[in-house]
C-alpha cells in the first residue's frame, strides 16, 4: 500500500470514528450462543446489529417505551 493510500485511509477512519464510537466488547461464554442464534435466524448478519437490537428491546421492556 502506498504512503498516500495509507494516509488517506487513516483520515477516513478518523472521520468515521468521530461519528461512530467504537466499543470493544467480548461476550460472556453464556451470551455468545444467544447472539449467534439471533444472527443465524436472520435478525442481522453482523453481531453489532444483533447487539443493537437486543439493547433496544431490553430498553423498551424496562422503560415501557421505545424512546431513549
Distance separating alpha carbons of residues 10 and 49, to the nearest angstrom? 25
Q: Tell me the average pLDDT across 9-33.
A: 88
CA separation, residue 55 to residues 2, 8, 52, 58 (Å): 41, 34, 5, 5
pLDDT tens profile 46-65? 888 888 888 899 999 999 87
- Between these two residues, 17 and 3, which has the higher pLDDT value? 17
Q: What is the pTM of this model?
A: 0.59
Q: Tell me the average pLDDT across 5-34.
A: 86
Domain boundaries, the chain: 25-68
Amino acid at each position: 500500500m502506498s504512503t498516500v493510500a495509507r494516509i488517506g485511509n487513516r483520515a477516513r477512519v478518523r472521520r468515521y470514528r468521530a461519528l461512530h464510537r467504537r466499543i470493544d466488547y467480548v461476550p460472556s461464554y453464556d451470551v455468545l450462543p444467544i447472539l449467534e442464534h439471533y444472527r443465524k435466524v436472520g435478525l442481522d448478519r453482523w453481531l453489532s446489529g444483533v447487539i443493537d437490537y437486543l439493547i433496544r428491546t431490553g430498553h423498551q421492556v424496562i422503560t415501557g417505551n421505545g424512546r431513549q
